[in-house]
Amino acid sequence: KKWTRALRYQSYSKWPPATQQALLATVSTSPWRLGYHIQSDSGLLNDPNGFAYFNNKWHLYYQNFPFGPVHGLKSWRHLTSDDLVHWQKTAGDLLPDSAYDSHGAYSGSALPLGNQLFLMYTGNVRDANWQRHPYQNGAVLDQHNQLTKLSKPLISEPPAGYTSEFRDPQIIAKQDQYWAFIGGQTNDKVGTILVYQSNDLHQWDFMGPLQLDQPKIGYMIECPNLIQIGNTTVLISCPQGLAQSTLAYQNIYPNTYLLSDQVDWENLTFNAQYSLKLLDDGFDVYATQAINAPDGRALAVSWIGLPEIDYPTDRYGWAHCLSLIKELTIKDGHLYQYPVSENQKLRTDEQQFNVQATPAPTVIQANSGQQYELALNLAADQEITLHIAENSDASAFFEVKLNSKTGVVTVDRQAAGEPFAEKYGTVRTSQLPAHHAITLNLFVDHSVCEMYLNHGYTTLTARFFPKPGQQQLSVSSPTTAELTGKFWQLNAID
């Protein structure tokens, strides 16, 4: 199929139901569908949106173009959950069906207000010359998951001095005001975060850009997101065109964070403790959305996928997934991310293993299945190479090297199955403290692997696309170490 602009942006009602049926049939033949990660029924999934706790349930939406694995006319798909693990679809989707979102209901966020969930999102509109006109729109979800759009935009144009790259509002309540943080770009093409305030959610005033004491942050900032953990403000964002001298990264665009305990909200200055850091050291995390949940936890969810990259599932009519829900904490000034404990409900068949120093490759699981959690401990000053999703002659595998002398963790997906995104390299590394024991918690789900090192001190997330029969988990290199750990099968969520 040739994905012309006309096809990508034609209204949903123009798609014949038979075409959608055929697409669903194609998706159902796909290898690599996921067992316990949120995925779309068909088409492309991207950013998490509108994450909230409201009406005694968790709410989460995702960006979706349902008719193919491309970025087309986007909507928000609505899910609710009792436990942050199992999710139900509702009819509360936010569809691109008005003059103020004619070319897509783009990303945004949610704020619970009494018996309504208030949504703020970007309405993407293109004119006859394909010029972009972004609107920041409002909608409310009621207690029956019925969604109603506000009839007029909340913010109708970018402020003077900024371009039409103006999207992804994060709305929060703070100091008796509503605040919105919106990704943007100055007229001279510098990425920025624009701050708005409102008393009533309807009249919004531009307060200025958030002043970051950082070098130029690329040409555009997508998905800005602020949360508070104790005294620390965490600013998550997706800078595009960021200089390598500012932050070394290999993905097309990085998902980054800054920490500060000196934010001056009066003057909109954010003085960071360190320069920008990668939120995830792996290949595929973007557009992370985090919230301060009413139970006191800071929770985050990421898009596992990247803009402008083809993935092997495209030919089966679908692309991408969301991450597990992660809890964010701060310890000794460092941001930790770890899947919420509710995920332990998925565990079954616990097994323990203990690999003694051995010169030969050792199979930990001959048939690991494709949905499992692995927890392992490596003592200080050791080195091991782990192969997950390995085939029987050990020619295909996803490789994880742990070096507890140097603290360097290396993942390589070069031999993991079907190649993709090789232009951006097949290896990623993560730095842990040297000469310390390493713990690894690794979640495999068919074609995604989320790795949490030292309880989430760093994370590495990767898609990989194994061929049939890659079912072995082994320690491949000669090891002097004693390796202990646990292994669980994980149940599917539907």
Asked if 137 contacts 123 with a C-beta cutoff of 8 angstroms, the reply is: yes
Count the site residues for ligand FRU by CB under 6 A.
14
CA distances from 416 to 286, 287, 427, 447, 467 (A): 22, 25, 11, 10, 8
Of 42, 102, 107, 459, the one binding ligand FRU by CB under 6 A: 107
β-bridge mates for residue 352, sequence order: 486
Q: Which is nearer to ligand FRU, 61 or 397 (CB)?
A: 61
Asked if 355 and 386 count as a contact pair (C-beta separation under 8 A), the reply is no
Q: Which residue has the tokens 């090192």?
A: 453
Nearer to ligand FRU, 33 or 74 (CB): 74
Select 186 or 362, whichever has its Cβ closest to ligand FRU.
186
Among the listed residues 33, 74, 326, 446, the single contact to ligand FRU using CB under 6 A: 74
Among 122, 382, 404, 474, binds ligand FRU (CB under 6 A): 122
Upper half-sphere CA count for residue 139 (Cβ side, 13 Å): 30
Smallest gap from residue 364 Cβ to ligand FRU (A): 37
Among 43, 45, 47, 428, binds ligand FRU (CB under 6 A): 47
Residue 61 or 106: the one with the smaller Cβ distance to ligand FRU is 106
Least separation, in Å, of the C-beta of 157 and ligand FRU?
17
What tokens does 266 get?
């009066």
Question: Is there binding between residue 288 and ligand FRU (CB under 6 A)?
Answer: no
Residue of 41, 47, 97, 310 marked active site: 47
Asked if residue 412 binds ligand FRU (CB under 6 A), the reply is: no
Q: Work out which of 39, 46, 80, 382 binds ligand FRU, going by CB under 6 A.
A: 46
Q: Is 241 near ligand FRU (CB under 6 A)?
A: no
Considering the complex, state which of residue 35 and residue 134 has its C-beta at the smaller distance from ligand FRU. 134
Q: Decide: is 454 part of the binding site for ligand FRU (CB under 6 A).
A: no
The smaller minimum CB distance to ligand FRU, of residues 10 and 362, is found at: 10
Considering only 31, 112, 241, 307, the residue that binds ligand FRU (CB under 6 A) is 307
399 binds ligand FRU, rule: CB under 6 A: no
What span, in angstroms and rounded, lies between the C-alpha atoms of 377 and 484? 6
Q: Is 41 a catalytic residue?
A: no
Angle at 369 between CA 364 and CA 373, to 5 degrees: 70
State the residues that interact with ligand FRU by CB under 6 A.
46-47, 63, 74, 106-107, 122, 167-168, 222-223, 286-287, 307
Active site residues: 47
